Amino acid sequence: MNPDDKTAEIYLDNAATTRCDEEVVAVMSGAYLLDYGNPSSMHRKGYEAEQLMKKARQEIAGTLRVLPEEIFFTSGGTESDNLAILGCARAGARRGRHLITSAVEHAAVAETMAALAEEGFEITKLPVDERGLVDPEEAAEAVREDTILVSVMAVNNEIGTVQDLKRIGQEIRKKNPGVLFHTDAVQGYGKIPLAVKECGIDLLSVSGHKFHGPKGTGFLYVKKGTKIRPILFGGGQQNGLRSGTDNVPGAVGLAAAAVQAVSKQQEFAERIGALREGFLTELRARIEGIRINGAQGMQAAPHIVSLSVPGVRAEVLLHALEDKRIYVSAGSACSSHTASGKQPGTATLRAIGLPPECLESTIRLSFSRDTTEAELHMTADALAELVPALRRFH
């Protein structure tokens, strides 16, 4: 086996990042080598770059059926989440100092909320059920007069649960029509349908590298009229909300990847969703005592599988799979950390009430458009072989 032969790899960590699309790299290459001007420059080279930026913005707006001026390019999901939450909290601080989020958010949201709590904002963390779902009515109950913003993710990054954004949006507005609704759609964009208007979403975060786009790119949708302040200050680009020289190649690549992902979203969800179902059926039949986490059926994202294998440490299973050139992710770090005081498992796994024997024995497999049935079959083979062997040495 040639270690440099990447074709023999089975990459099932697409929720971490994806391989960049070749067409995306090609359009970016053009923007780097030919149209390398700064849109802020007054000359023609700058104007041409500005036109590229404008086209990219239009294309991305089209994927969500929103206005181009509602799209703000960022460096990725983390910045989009930070801008949405900090920006709205600071702009709305005089109206109220209360924000609502869920117990299963990505760190980019959870830690931003924690930072606001230190600044004196009040944060309500909505619990989830064993599938990882937020109850829309419970969300509405938490909304108060002084609530500025509710932030609930579209698809959970660890267990793939799809939240009912439409009902959450409706319910919270019944209680307080002025409340802003943000969703971290980093794992949802291009994977599930996202109806921004129907769901009443004001702000939506997206990261480019999760759908074969360039790393270090992303955007935030901000509904026209939303009161938001910048978190980066400088040259006043992008309407003053996001200063910094425009990343033209990044925007162009992001737009190309976004158009591809969203135009093929339905086909992706059907095909990959079916592969996922087949894979889970095979795992259940071949490996004893496993547990599939998160919501299933319509409320499961097509591309994420969270699998608990009691009796095997996730990190060991991950490295054993890596030895077979199958790359997955471990939900949690190893037990030597927990000895030093850290709680076992991750916040999400604890929030869905996973039993203790599963907390450190959970791996995530995440698929892309390039994942094949044969790969999943080989992965099931590998798991069926490794799990009993590793359980012997637990």
Partner 1 sequence: MKYEAFIIKYAEIGVKGNNRHIFEDALVQALRRALLPVGSFQVTCIAGRLYVEAADDFDYDEAIAAFQRVFGVLGICPAVTIRRTERRLPDIDALGEAAIRYFESVYGLERGKEAAPGEEKTFKVRCRRVDKSYPMNSMEVDAAVGERLLDAFPSLKVDVHDPEILFHVELREQVNLFSEEIPGPGGLPSGTAGKAMLLLSGGIDSPVAGYQIARRGARVEAVYFHAPPYTSDRAKQKVIDLATLLSRYTGPIRLHIVNFTAIQLAIYEKCPKDELTIIMRRYMMHIAEELALQNDCIGLITGESIGQVASQTMQSLAVTDEAVRRLPVYRPLIANDKQEIIRISEQIGTYETSILPYEDCCTIFVAKHPVTRPRLDIILRHEEPVREELDALTRTAIAEEEIVTCGGRAGNGSDAP
Tell me how far the alpha carbon of residue 351 is from its chain's centroid.
18
The Cα–Cα gap between 306 and 326 comes to 16
6 makes contact with partner 1 (CB under 8 A): no
- Based on CB atoms, which residue is closest to partner 1, 224 or 392? 392
The Cα–Cα gap between 174 and 291 comes to 38
165 makes contact with partner 1 (CB under 8 A): no
341's tokens: 């005081």
- Reduced to 3 states (helix: H, G, I; strand: E, B; else coil), residue 28 is helix
Residue 122: strand pairing partners? 98
- Based on CB atoms, which residue is closest to partner 1, 257 or 307? 307
- Based on CB atoms, which residue is closest to partner 1, 50 or 385? 385
Q: Which residues of 130-147 are buried (b: 16+ CB within 10 A; e: fewer)?
A: ebbbbbbeebbebbeeeb
228 makes contact with partner 1 (CB under 8 A): no
Which x/- pattern, by CB under 8 A, does the window 305-334 give for partner 1? ----------xxxxxx-xx---------xx
Which x/- pattern, by CB under 8 A, does the window 335-374 give for partner 1? -xx-------------------------------------
Helices (H) and strands (E) in the chain, counts: 14, 13
Q: How far is the CB of 372 from partner 1 (least distance, A)?
A: 25
Q: How far is the CB of 305 from partner 1 (least distance, A)?
A: 20
385 makes contact with partner 1 (CB under 8 A): no
- Based on CB atoms, which residue is closest to partner 1, 153 or 321? 321
Q: How far is the CB of 13 from partner 1 (least distance, A)?
A: 15
- Based on CB atoms, which residue is closest to partner 1, 8 or 274? 8
CA neighbor of 332 nearest in space, from 309, 312, 359: 359
Q: How far is the CB of 313 from partner 1 (least distance, A)?
A: 8
Cβ-contact 135, 295 below 8 angstroms: no
Contacts of 339 (CB under 8 A, 6+ apart): none
In the complex, the residues that contact partner 1 under the rule CB under 8 A are 315-320, 322-323, 333-334, 336-337, 392-393
